Structures are given as structure tokens and as C-alpha cells.
Structure 1
Amino acid sequence: MKVPAITDVQGVVVGHAADAEALTGVTVVLTPDGAVAGVDVRGGAPGTRETDLLDPVNLVQQVNAVVLTGGSAFGLAAATGVVSWLHERGYGFDVGLTKVPIVPAAVIFDLGVGRADVWPDATMGYAACIAAEASVAEGSVGAGIGATVGKVGGMATAMRGGVGTWSETLANGVTVGALVVVNAFGDVVDEQGRIVAGARGPGQSLIGTGALLRSGVARQSFADATGQNTTIAVVATDARLDKAAATRLAIMAQDGLARAIRPAHSPFDGDTVFALATGIYDAPPLVTLGAVAADVLATAIVRAVQMATAVAGIPAARDVATP
């Protein structure tokens, strides 16, 4: 049975590429024929590319891809490979002399897992485009291969993050989907508020970030966690939206991130959500799209940690009993 995914949105395909030794990678959400886009940045430590052009007051109306990548600021180089792949195929914003592919990007910090001297580059970004298809792998893949969560005590308390996706199709045929790379300072919780993956205590028990923050025990470890986090996501729909509506869709989708990650939008995270609209169908009310976007993003976040696998001594959700 096919699992719902962001690629259920018409005009969207997804590709992953990764270095299994260095534990870093790239995930690209391709909309080669263009999609109206918006973005909402809530975290205190973001790393991004081409987000200013998504402001509704600015000229360019559509993007051709969104890149989610590991490698911290170094990993932004992966977007160059995506630009090359698109340019070779004639996609991009027509400036008369040529077509310039529009490719926003956001990064996670994964240098503390695997190798810190290897990060995604243009070659890896290009490879992710070649691999793009309608089927979306989840868990420890692509930009999520080195992702972790629950880092209030540094890597000593961490568990595995990863890539997750989900979608929902409305009665009028419009689909809303999400794809996320979960690399949070905090914990991932399910709909009942139970920790699925997060900060561990002795004996692999799940204590939770909130408890450790309140106790003050983890305060000395904040330096280890500073800047080493971030959850980055794309929500997409095949409804027709303008840039202002796409921006509002990204803003509303952040509610799903805050429901599934606790705490969210911390000074140590660079939480960023992009929104894409491929414009196939008439749009239902924006409040409907936004509410569904938050729901599918929350589900994708939980799936990201449920599908992850242990590596480098860092356990995954499947390895630790939920309290």
C-alpha cells in the first residue's frame, strides 16, 4: 500500500543523495515547471539561501526547487548542483539572455555526527536531482542521514532524527503534502503528547527535554547544543495561490512543527518552513489549506523519527521504549 507523501501533490518530485560514511546528505523537492512559493523562518539560528526573493513584494513569482541539506552553511553549496541540473534542462526564470533556476535552500547542522570535514556539495545536489522520483524514502536518508533530536545535553542525550513525509487529499481533489528533515534541539511527540524520540537519561530511558530544562541539570551542556539543530520542511499543494497566500500557508504550517516538537523555535534551532503551490486546482479557503498543512507536517515529523535507524551509538525511536 502506497504511503501518503508530498509527491501526491501534482508537479512535485523528491530526490535524496547522501554520504553514508560522513553521515550527511541532501534532499531536493523539485518543481521544475515552477511553483509559487513562500517561507516562514521561526528558529533563532537559521541557515538559508534565496529566502528574501520569496517575500510577496519581490519580483520573482515561482521557484523550481527547494533544497534541504546537511552540512550547516557549507551544505548550501548543494543548491549550485540543483541549479545546474535545472539549467541544463531549460528550467528557470526567463531573463531574456538565459533562464535562471530559482532554488531556495535551508540547512541543518549535522557536523557532530559522522565527519565534520565532509559536507554536501554541488555534485551531491546534482545527484539528488537525478534520483528524484514520486516515491519518497523516509528515515535515515538524504538530508536526514545525520539528523538527531533531544540534544539538550549534547550528543549524550540525543536520539536519531530523519526525513518524514505525509499528505492529505481534500474533497475537491486538492492535495496538501509535507516533507521534513527533523534535527531538533527538543523532543518529538505524538498526538497524545507522548515522547516518540527525545532527550535520554541513564539506561536509555526517555526523560524528555522539558524535564531536563526544568531541573537545570542540562544547563552546562547548552554550549554543546548551540547551533547544532534545526528542523526544515516543505509543505506543498496543487492549489493556485499567490505569494502572499503561500507565505501564510508556511506560517500556518509552523503550528504543526510546534505541536510535534517541544520546545520548538528555540534560540538553538533554525526552524524554517517553505510552502509551494503548483497551481493545478482552484484553491479552497486558505484557512482550510493552512489547517491541513499543519496536520500533515506534524504527522511527517513523527514519521521522520519512527522511520530512522541507529548510527554511531545514537539510538532511534525503535530502540528506546516510550514512557
Structure 2
Amino acid sequence: MNTTLTALEGFRVGHWTDAEARTGCTVLLAPPQGWVASGAFLGPAPGTRETALLAPEKTVGRAHALLLTGGSAFGLAAADGVMRYLEEQGVGFETGFARVPIVPAAVIYDLGVGDARVRPTAESGYLAAQAASSAPVELGRVGAGTGATVGKYLGLEHAAVGGLGSALVEQGGVRVGALAVVNAVGDVYAPSGELLAGPGRFPGARGWGLQAGTNTTLIAVGLEAAVSKAEARALADAAQAALARVVRPSHTPFDGDAAFVLSSEVAGRADPLLLTALVQEAVARAVVSAVR
């Protein structure tokens, strides 16, 4: 039974992983018509591409894929390969002269845990897109989560392994999925309060050695319910808030968290309060699954 994001209609996921260099990328593919998409970006130094288009007032209404990648800003080059793959499939925004795929992207900083000279490239993004399927999402140290670490407030030498997680929740016939790449300053806790990953000694933290932009949790939330871009933006805020349930401390001055909300619109509208609750539950479960 598939209990990950790809159980939803209109979502495929593929990874490219370099286990030796401790980096990789993960691609989410939309149906040919794309998703209604928006996002929320917090922290002092998020690494992103094409995210300005996701603001509700922007005229481009859909995204055709999402790239989550390691390699810091270098890894954004992998989006070129995703665009090339989609162009070959005839997918993109019709401009009259060419179809232009819209591929938002966000990165984590993993250069300090593997080989900093190896980063995802355009070819890596192409291969991840080519591998995308509706099979259950592979979890853990894979794709964009390969070099992820958590609990870094005492220094990288005290950090725990992060990773990539995914979860699916359902209530009243409404389904919401989430995928998370967890590379946070803070520890990861179960909703029950159990420490899952990290030193668990935050009172002794020393933040002066941390660098802004080197810690990030990336979230992709999938919906089947129809939403507007403005509603997707509000749900992305809810996804960010969910991090505080399972990452402690969350949203620090050294984190650059990104949350995307993507709707395939294959179902009708759903109660907005129910959607908010399910988004937050799915995100919390996805973060926990990344380190279990």
C-alpha cells in the first residue's frame, strides 16, 4: 500500500543519488497541464529558482515540475535538465514560439558532509525526471535528502542524519500528501515528544558558529482538491507552521525553509479548515519519516 505523496493522482517522484559524495536531487512531476502552485519561503538565505512566479498575483498560474536538490546554489543547475526532459515530452507553458516548462526549485546545503566538489547537475535533474513514477517514494538518505543532517546547533560534529520523508493523510475522502527534505539546525521530535534525531541538548547550544543559509527544510505538499493560487499560498504558510511541531527549534536565523503547495485539481473543492489540518498533519509525518 502506498502511503506516500505519489498515492495522489497527478504526482510522480524520481531521485538521482550520489551516495559516495552525499548529495542528490529529487524531482516531482505534474500531469501535462501542470499543478496550481504556490509557496512560502522563510529564513535569511533560502536558495530557490522560479519561486517568484508562485506568488498569487503573478500571471503564470501553473508549475510543471518541482526540483528539490542538494549542492547549495550550485544544485539549482539540475533544473535545466528537468526543463529539457519536459520540453522533450511537449510539456510547458505555450508562448507562441516554444513551450516553456515552469520548474520551481529549492536547495539544501550539503557541501559539508560529503564531497563538496560534487553537486547535482543538469544531467542529474534529467535522470531524476526520467526516473519519476507513481511508485511509493523511496525514503531516507536518497535524492535531495542524501546529505541532509539535523541537530547542528552544537556543531556539525554533533549532528544526526537527516533525510527525505513522505506521508499521506486522509479524512472524509480528502487526501493530502507531503514530501520533506529535512536538513534543519534543530532536532527532530515525534509529535508525542520523543527525540528522534539530534543531540537533544539545545540549552547548551552555541549559534555563533552557524552560517545563514546552510540549514534548510524543504516541503512539498500535494493536493487533489481544487484550490486557487491564493489558497495554495495560505496552505504553504500552514505547512511552514507545522514544522514547529516536530523540529525544535524551527525557523531559526540559520534556516532557509521552503514550502510548496501543489494541486492536481482532480477532485472538487474541500473544506479549507480540513485542508489546513491535513496539510499540517501530513508535513509533520513526512518530517518524522525522513529520520526514521
Q: Which band: TM-score by shorter chain?
A: over 0.9
Say which SS state the counterpart of residue 67 (structure 2) adopts.
Answer: strand
Offset at residue 3 of structure 1 (A): 4.2
- Amino acid aligned to 1:137: E
What does 1:8-27 align with in structure 2 at a 5 Å threshold? 8-27=7-26
Q: Distance in 2 between matches of 1:30 and 1:106?
A: 15
- Amino acid aligned to 1:51: T
- Amino acid aligned to 2:148: A
Q: Distance in 1 between matches of 2:95 and 2:57?
A: 19
Matched, 1:6 2:5: yes
Matched positions, count: 290
Q: What is the TM-score when the length of structure 2 is the normalising length?
A: 0.96
Task: Report what 1:101 is aligned to.
Answer: 101
Q: What is the TM-score when the length of structure 1 is the normalising length?
A: 0.87
Task: Report what 1:37 is aligned to.
Answer: 37
Task: Report what 1:229 is aligned to.
Answer: 215
What does 1:20-99 align with in structure 2 at a 5 Å threshold? 20-33=19-32, 34-99=34-99
Match of residue 266, structure 1, among 217, 228, 252:
252
Contact map agreement 1:234 1:276 (CA 8 A) in 2: yes
- Amino acid aligned to 1:248: A
What does 1:114-263 align with in structure 2 at a 5 Å threshold? 114-134=114-134, 135-172=136-173, 174-199=174-199, 207-208=200-201, 210-213=202-205, 218-219=206-207, 222-263=208-249
Task: State the Cα deviation string for residues 13-39 of structure 1 (Å, max 9, x = none).
Answer: 100001122111001111042000010
Task: Report what 1:300 is aligned to.
Answer: 286
Q: Distance in 1 between matches of 2:103 and 2:7?
A: 21
Q: Distance in 1 between matches of 2:194 and 2:170?
A: 27
Offset at residue 40 of structure 1 (A): 0.6
Name the % identity.
48
Task: State the Cα deviation string for residues 197-218 of structure 1 (Å, max 9, x = none).
Answer: 012xxxxxxx33x2223xxxx3
Contact map agreement 1:154 1:225 (CA 8 A) in 2: no
Q: Distance in 2 between matches of 1:282 and 1:236?
A: 14
Task: State the Cα deviation string for residues 89-131 of structure 1 (Å, max 9, x = none).
Answer: 0001111111100000000000001111110110000010111
Task: State the Cα deviation string for residues 54-97 of structure 1 (Å, max 9, x = none).
Answer: 11111100100111000000000011100100010000111111
Offset at residue 182 of structure 1 (A): 0.2
Q: Distance in 1 between matches of 2:225 and 2:31?
A: 17
Task: State the Cα deviation string for residues 130-165 of structure 1 (Å, max 9, x = none).
Answer: 111122100000000100001012211100000000
Q: Distance in 2 between matches of 1:9 and 1:256?
A: 21
Q: Distance in 2 between matches of 1:291 and 1:42?
A: 21
Contact map agreement 2:170 2:278 (CA 8 A) in 1: no
Task: Report what 1:318 is aligned to.
Answer: none
Offset at residue 223 of structure 1 (A): 2.2
Contact map agreement 1:235 1:273 (CA 8 A) in 2: yes
- Amino acid aligned to 1:164: G
Matched, 1:276 2:268: no
Task: State the Cα deviation string for residues 226-259 of structure 1 (Å, max 9, x = none).
Answer: 4321000100101111100111111111122111
Larger radius of gyration: 1
Q: Distance in 1 between matches of 2:44 and 2:192?
A: 27
Q: Distance in 1 between matches of 2:18 and 2:216?
A: 20
Q: Distance in 2 between matches of 1:283 and 1:154?
A: 46
- Amino acid aligned to 1:188: V
Offset at residue 224 of structure 1 (A): 4.5
- Amino acid aligned to 1:267: P
Offset at residue 44 of structure 1 (A): 2.3
Say which SS state the counterpart of residue 153 (structure 1) adopts.
Answer: coil
**More off after superposition, 53-62 vs 40-49:** 40-49
Unaligned runs of 5+ in 1: 200-206, 307-323
Say which SS state the counterpart of residue 279 (structure 1) adopts.
Answer: coil
Contact map agreement 1:178 1:234 (CA 8 A) in 2: yes
Task: Report what 2:276 is aligned to.
Answer: 290
Offset at residue 266 of structure 1 (A): 1.0
Unaligned runs of 5+ in 2: none
Task: State the Cα deviation string for residues 155-208 of structure 1 (Å, max 9, x = none).
Answer: 111000000000112323x32000010000000011122211012xxxxxxx33
